[in-house]
Structure 1
Amino acid sequence: MDQLLALKVFVRIAETNAFSRAADAMNVPRPTVTKLIQDLEHHLGVRLLQRTTRKVSVTADGSAYYERAKRLIAELEDMDQLASGARSQLRGRLRVDVGSVLANRILIPALGHFRDLYPDLQLELGVSDRPADLIGEGVDCAIRGGEMPDSSMVARHLAHLEWVTCASSAYIAARGIPEHPDDLLSVTGEGQGGRHTISGYFSSLTGRAFSLEFNRHGERVAVKPGDGTSFNESTAHVNALLHGLGVGQTFRFAVAPFLGDGSLVEILPDWSRPAHTIRLVYPSNRQLSAKIRAFADWAVAVFAPFDSRPRVDGE
Structure 2
Amino acid sequence: MDRFDEMRIFLRVAETCSFRRTAESLGMPASTISDAVRHMETRLGVRLLDRTTRVVAPTLDGEAWYQRCLAIVGEVEDAEAAFAGGDVKGRLRVDVHGTLARHFLLPTLPDFLRAQPQLELVMSEGDRLVDLIREGVDCVVRVTEPADSDLIARRLGVLPETIVAAPAYLERYGLPLTPDELEGHRVVAFLSSKTGAPMDLEMMVNGQIVTRRLPTSFVTTGAETMVDAARLGLGLVQVPRYHVTADIAAGRLIEVLTHYAPAPSPVVALYPRNRQLSPRLRVFLDWLATRSFTA
TM-score (norm 1): 0.87
The Cα shift of 1:252 comes to: 1.1
Aligned to 2:215: 226
Distance between the aligned counterparts of 2:131 and 2:191, measured in 1? Answer: 19
Distance between the aligned counterparts of 1:162 and 1:305, measured in 2? Answer: 7
> 2:159 touches 2:293 (CA, 8 Å); kept in 1?
no
Of residues 283, 292, 301 in structure 1, which corresponds to 2:290? 301
Of residues 118, 121, 127 in structure 2, which corresponds to 1:120? 118
Q: 1:106 to 1:198 in 2, by over 3 A?
A: same
Q: Between the two proteins, what is the percent identity of the paired residues?
A: 37
The Cα shift of 1:50 comes to: 1.2
The Cα shift of 1:258 comes to: 1.6
The Cα shift of 1:294 comes to: 1.3
> 2:9 touches 2:22 (CA, 8 Å); kept in 1?
yes
Distance between the aligned counterparts of 1:32 and 1:287, measured in 2? Answer: 25
Q: 1:134 to 1:181 in 2, by over 3 A?
A: same
Structure 1 runs (4+) greater than 6 angstroms displaced: none
Residues 26-45 of structure 1 aligned to structure 2 (within 5 Å): 26-45=26-45
Of residues 148, 169, 172 in structure 2, which corresponds to 1:171? 169
The Cα shift of 1:304 comes to: 4.4
The Cα shift of 1:14 comes to: 0.7
Residue range with higher mean Cα deviation, 24-33 or 260-269:
24-33
Distance between the aligned counterparts of 1:229 and 1:102, measured in 2? Answer: 22
Provide structure 2 residue ranges, at least 5 long, that are not aligned to the other structure.
Answer: none
What SS does the aligned partner of 1:302 have? coil
Distance between the aligned counterparts of 1:115 and 1:107, measured in 2? Answer: 12
Residues 97-116 of structure 1 aligned to structure 2 (within 5 Å): 97-116=95-114
The Cα shift of 1:219 comes to: 6.4
Aligned to 1:263: 252
Q: 1:177 to 1:288 in 2, by over 3 A?
A: same
The Cα shift of 1:273 comes to: 2.0
> 2:267 touches 2:293 (CA, 8 Å); kept in 1?
no
Match of 1:260, as an amino acid? A
What do the CA deviations read for 1:183-224 (whole angstroms, capped 9, x no partner)?
Answer: 3232xxxxxxxxx32111112454211000122215654222
What do the CA deviations read for 1:258-286 (whole angstroms, capped 9, x no partner)?
Answer: 22222211101110322211111111344
Q: 1:228 to 1:304 in 2, by over 3 A?
A: closer
Match of 1:274, as an amino acid? A
Aligned to 2:15: 15
What SS does the aligned partner of 1:273 have? coil
Residues 126-165 of structure 1 aligned to structure 2 (within 5 Å): 126-165=124-163
RMSD (Å), alpha carbons: 2.0
Q: What number of residue pairs does the alignment pair up? A: 295
> 1:98 touches 1:125 (CA, 8 Å); kept in 2?
yes
> 1:96 touches 1:126 (CA, 8 Å); kept in 2?
yes
Q: 1:152 to 1:205 in 2, by over 3 A?
A: closer
Q: 1:59 to 1:219 in 2, by over 3 A?
A: closer
Aligned to 1:193: none
Provide structure 1 residue ranges, at least 5 long, that are not aligned to the other structure.
Answer: 187-195, 307-315
Q: 1:41 to 1:73 in 2, by over 3 A?
A: same
TM-score (norm 2): 0.92
